[in-house]
Structure 1
């Protein structure tokens, strides 16, 4: 038995509320269970109850045992002086306020059905991956779809927080924010943080000025990524190196070293050289990319904008000084899908929120146009007969696994609450 189960029982009144009596055999009527805070202080704020015809308004504290009050040192905390009812599973100690008045106690286990306790224990019996793995496929479609939408927007809120941080750093320059976010996601998981630091190491005003000459953009990106530090015979490499040191002098920039970018374990098409060249060419092609993207609402429009090639040199190279068979180094739809999911949609959401607008339906429609993601978590859900049809569903499943299943938050999850009823 865990305390969050008692919170669930109280919050949703999942117990027999008729003929309630306190430990001292006083009649108890619940008018309002209060607001569940999940913060420091009492568990439920501003509840209303009646004890023996006397109405009380105040806070509710919930514990497995009454003595937990002293275990948690609530007797020394003034925030708990306004507690009007102590809800416990077992009553093993009388509790007093600082003025020596006794706090009424409700022993909850006397009013909870055996069925809901059994369902709770069944739900939280350890399984191979998640607690509800055998039952999740049986949850009603309407309920599950609505829950997925809520999960997606929870995930989107989390993804928006770094954007608001960047707003302060860039003086509300949305073009600069987009550049940083795109850089991060061009780096994928392995090089994402390095690419973000790389983008932040170059003032975006310089990216704007030099965007008319793509070799200058490549020089700045490759140089600060530490990819121009060696001595090579390759003429393209030599040209970029000369340009890089010229640009450092031109803008009086101090050389910034970011974490070394990784080639290891990457498919050649994802090598940092290729991705940085594609990023440079994207900003060479569009000088006001944010202004263009923010008004696009279909996946196809975004594909058309973000499908871009690396510089001609890279068509037969993956690394400097190492020639390879001729191959187009163009961004593909699956890669742009990741950019839409991890960059375009979060920045659209954050921008609309800052403008006081809601574009929730537009984002849902956009994500429904994108194929489901492929990763180990999604593959595992498929084993339990949850087969996502689009990126909205895969994003929600990632949020479900990472923020609910991994943290044992079954009682905060629609699936868990539904299984407790069954």
Structure 2
């Protein structure tokens, strides 16, 4: 017996055992009318089951264990929540169990009723040491089943991320615009510099930029100054002017700059240096401050991309990757893949989160449509699944794959996965 209790949940839920001429351990005839609903919270494993024992029909709960004696180990005999259990389903019956009122609990033993083939198939799936359990079998599952479960995992992923949006929204007293701005800033850090960008957004709220929306130089001074990059001495005119401007603005708004040490440059391509990203971020604020209302209105992906393209970035950055050192041929605009990353991780997320918060299906549908319009992400996880035969044609599917890998494959939750269940059912 090399399987967990969850395997028996699967066996009972889908009646994946020989259920002809069933009998309880006490010798009474048993028929399963309804196995009940799986309970993933505290209490009996299945609610609202209906069975027939002898000539009597019972309605109630079903508890499942590997061994009958597990009932005692788990102290169910002392818990009133288990008094409405009508059947104890076990792999091995090794002890008579009585309810609190001293009546014997009917038991169904499955040991001789589960095929060895099913157990071997489960063990092969569950105990695999490959990148994900069903790497050898997932390519045999019908695409419709895979796509259906990926749709579920994508929604799960968005709902989990929505919790973080809601937390920040509450912190900001329901200000969607400022919440979006903070998440947008974090996205500009692209993981490596996500934290310092978030700290920058907290140091300079959007309403400060709004007061200087017609003065790009002041916005650039606010961004680079609050980011901590203007504390040095400079020989070039551009950073000198930024520093002088920020000196005034810092006092006016009582801005506490981010510690420059939190910014990371190591092992990055120069075009991804935080200084270049900050220049792009400042230009985006100049081009379209208060972006939230704009992205909520624009339905066309071409127009959404246009918000982040052709940014009015200062010409200084065409010859610099950072202050003090001049170079040549710097590509200062945000690349297409980076724009798609922002559309996916911020714009799509906020369409979904706003739809959930306001109970407006229109925005949820727009979020899903946006992801279906974006190309699939490219990373090692996606490569493993495509190599196993899964077709991943857009970001909707790739996001579903990332959630599948993290929440199901890595946790070995094959029996909660629609794909894993299908593989176990295959002949």
TM-score of Structure 1 vs Structure 2, range by shorter chain: over 0.9
What do the CA deviations read for 1:295-337 (whole angstroms, capped 9, x no partner)? 2223211111111253222121111111111434011211111
The secondary structure found in structure 1 opposite 2:47 is: strand
Counterpart of 2:44 (choices 33, 42, 45) is 42
**Alignment length, in residue pairs?**
422
Measure, in 2, the Cα distance between the counterparts of 1:156 and 1:59.
33
* TM-score, length of structure 2 as denominator length: 0.91
User: Are residues 1:336 and 2:370 paired?
Assistant: no
Task: Give the C-alpha shift of residue 271 in structure 1.
Answer: 0.9
Dislocated runs of 4+, deviation >6 Å: none
Structure 1 stretch displaced more, 63-72 or 333-342: 63-72
Matched residue, 2:398: 394
Task: Give the C-alpha shift of residue 128 in structure 1.
Answer: 2.5
The secondary structure found in structure 2 opposite 1:210 is: coil
Task: Give the C-alpha shift of residue 387 in structure 1.
Answer: 4.2
Quick one: structure 1 residues 226 and 113, their matched pair in 2 at CA, closer, same or farther if it must change by over 3 Å? Answer: same
Matched residue, 2:56: 54
User: Are residues 1:317 and 2:314 paired?
Assistant: no
What do the CA deviations read for 1:200-222 (whole angstroms, capped 9, x no partner)? 23333223323332333333333
What do the CA deviations read for 1:276-295 (whole angstroms, capped 9, x no partner)? 22112111111331111112
Residues 184-199 of structure 1: matches in 2 within 5 Å?
Answer: 184-199=186-201
Measure, in 1, the Cα distance between the counterparts of 2:383 and 2:104.
55
What do the CA deviations read for 1:184-210 (whole angstroms, capped 9, x no partner)? 111001111221232123333223323
Matched residue, 2:380: 376
The secondary structure found in structure 1 opposite 2:89 is: strand
User: Are residues 1:153 and 2:145 paired?
Assistant: no
Measure, in 1, the Cα distance between the counterparts of 2:368 and 2:200.
32
Contact 1:127 1:133 (8 Å CA) reproduced: no
Quick one: structure 1 residues 211 and 266, their matched pair in 2 at CA, closer, same or farther if it must change by over 3 Å? Answer: farther
Task: Give the C-alpha shift of residue 254 in structure 1.
Answer: 4.9
Measure, in 2, the Cα distance between the counterparts of 1:69 and 1:197.
52
The secondary structure found in structure 2 opposite 1:408 is: coil
Task: Give the C-alpha shift of residue 274 in structure 1.
Answer: 1.1
RMSD of Structure 2 on Structure 1 (CA): 2.2
Quick one: structure 1 residues 41 and 228, their matched pair in 2 at CA, closer, same or farther if it must change by over 3 Å? Answer: farther
User: Are residues 1:14 and 2:26 paired?
Assistant: no
Measure, in 1, the Cα distance between the counterparts of 2:23 and 2:313.
74
Measure, in 1, the Cα distance between the counterparts of 2:62 and 2:303.
53
Matched residue, 2:419: 415
Matched residue, 2:139: 137
Task: Give the C-alpha shift of residue 361 in structure 1.
Answer: 4.4
Matched residue, 1:274: 276
Measure, in 2, the Cα distance between the counterparts of 1:216 and 1:73.
68
Quick one: structure 1 residues 194 and 32, their matched pair in 2 at CA, closer, same or farther if it must change by over 3 Å? Answer: farther
Counterpart of 2:232 (choices 212, 230, 242) is 230
* TM-score, length of structure 1 as denominator length: 0.92
Counterpart of 2:210 (choices 208, 211, 232) is 208
Quick one: structure 1 residues 302 and 53, their matched pair in 2 at CA, closer, same or farther if it must change by over 3 Å? Answer: same
